[in-house]
Amino acid sequence: MKVEHVDLLRQALPYINRFKNKTFVVKIGGDVAEEDATILSFCEEVALLAQVGIREVVVHGGGRQATELSEKLGIEPKIINGRRITDDRTLDVVKMVFAGLVNTEILGALRKCGIAAVGLSGVDGNIVHATRRPPKRILNQETGREEMVDFGHVGDIDRVDGRLLRVLLDADYVPVLASLGADSEGHVFNINADTVASFIAGELGAEKLIFASDVEGIYRETEGGREILQRASVAEVNDLIRTGVIRGGMVPKAQAALEALRDGVQSVHIIDGMKPNSLLTEIFTDSGCGTMIYR
C-alpha cells in the first residue's frame, strides 16, 4: 500500500470513530443516478460508510430521468425556479420514474456492493404527509416577471413519520426513499427531493445531510473568477440567496439545507456526486471537497 493511502486512512480514523452509529441522510440527484457506472461508484462510497457503522438513509428524486421520459411520451416538461409543474400526465411519469426506475437502479447498485437496502417512497408507512400546494404568485427568475403559478400535483410537507425508517435502520438496512408523499385521502404528490431529505434528516436527528448532485458546491465570486465556498454560515447562505448568487435549482437545495439546520441537523454538505470519492473525501478528510453549511 502506498504511503499516501496509509496517510488517508490515518486521517479518516478519527472521523470514523466520531460518526460511528450516527445517522446520515444522503440525497442522490438524478444526474448521479443516470449512468450505471456513476451510480455504482457513488453507491460503493455509501456502502463503505455503512460498513464502518454509519446509519444511512438515501433519498432521491429523478428529475432528469422524468424529463427524458416526458419528452419521449410527448409531454413538454415545465420547470419554474427549479420546481416541476406536475399535471396529471406528469404525475404518472414521476411515479413511474421515482418509485420505479431510479429507486430500483439504486437498490441494484447497493446490492452489488453487499448492502441490504430497502426501496420505499414517502407514501410507504405514511412517512411523508403532504398537502397540495395552492396556486401562488411568484417571481419567475428566468423572465424576471411575477406570475400566478399552479404547480399541479406538487406537495408541501406537513410532517414526516420516521418510525418505519427507524425500524429499518435498527435492523441494519439502508432505506432508499423516493421523493413522493401523500395526504390523508391517499392523493400522491411530487415533492422536491431536497425538501424531503431535509425533513427526514430533521425527524431522525441526523448528524449530517449530504446533497450529491452534479455541482461541486456553492460558488462565490472572486477577482479571478469564482471559487467553491468550502464553509458557509446560515447568514452567508441567506445573503447569497438574497443577492441572486444562489439561483435556479440551487435555491430549493439551499433552502432545504437551512431548514435542516434549524431542525437540529449538525451540518449540511453539497458535493459533486459525479466525481469519484467525493463522498468519502467530504466526510473523512480535513479539507473536504464541497461546501459545508453550518449553524
CA pair distance 285, 94, nearest whole angstrom: 37
The residues with which 55 forms a beta bridge, in sequence order, are 23
Q: Are 83 and 139 in contact (CB under 8 A)?
A: no
For the stretch 187-207, what's the b/e string if a residue is b when 16 or more beta carbons lie within 10 angstroms of its beta carbon? Answer: ebbbbbbbbbbbbbbbbbebb
Distance CA 114, CA 21 (A): 19
What's the rounded mean pLDDT across residues 257-265?
97
Residue 74 to residue 87: CA distance in whole angstroms: 14
Three-state SS string over 15-68 comes to HHHHHCCCEEEEEECHHHHHCHHHHHHHHHHHHHHHHCCCEEEEEECCHHHHHH
Which of 112-121, 176-185, 239-248 bottoms out in mean pLDDT, i.e. has the lowest?
A: 239-248
- For residue range 15-73, what is the model confidence (pLDDT) as tens digits? 999 999 999 999 999 889 888 999 999 999 999 999 999 999 999 999 899 999 999 99
Q: Is the pLDDT of residue 165 over 80?
A: yes
Residue 117's pLDDT is 98
User: Which position has the higher pLDDT, 11 or 275?
Assistant: 275
DSSP 191: -
Q: pTM here? A: 0.93
Spatial separation of the C-alpha atoms in residues 101 and 216, rounded to whole Å: 26
Q: Is the pLDDT of residue 232 over 70?
A: yes
Helix (H) / strand (E) containing 103: helix 103-112
Burial class (CB in 10 A: 0-12, 13-18, 19+), 127: buried
Average pLDDT, the chain: 93
Integer Cα distance of 88 and 129 in angstroms: 20
Check pLDDT > 70 for residue 2: no
Instruction: Out of 139-148, 191-200, 282-291, pick the least confident.
Output: 139-148
Q: For residue range 175-186, what is the model confidence (pLDDT) as tens digits?
A: 999 999 999 999
Q: Which CATH code, of 1.10.10.10, 3.40.1160.10, 1.10.260.40, 3.40.640.10, is assigned to 3-8+20-294?
A: 3.40.1160.10
CB 154 within 8 A of CB 162: no
Would the pLDDT of 295 be above 90?
A: no
- In this model, does residue 5 exceed pLDDT 80? no
- pLDDT given at position 4: 53
Report the pLDDT value the prediction gives residue 8, as an integer from 0 to 100.
73
What's the Cα-to-Cα distance from 109 to each of 33, 35, 130, 155, 204, rounded to whole Å? 10, 11, 30, 29, 25
Of the listed ranges 123-132, 140-149, 176-185, 226-235, the one predicted with least confidence: 140-149
- C-alpha distance across the termini of the chain, in Å: 39
Q: What percent of the chain has pLDDT over 90?
A: 78
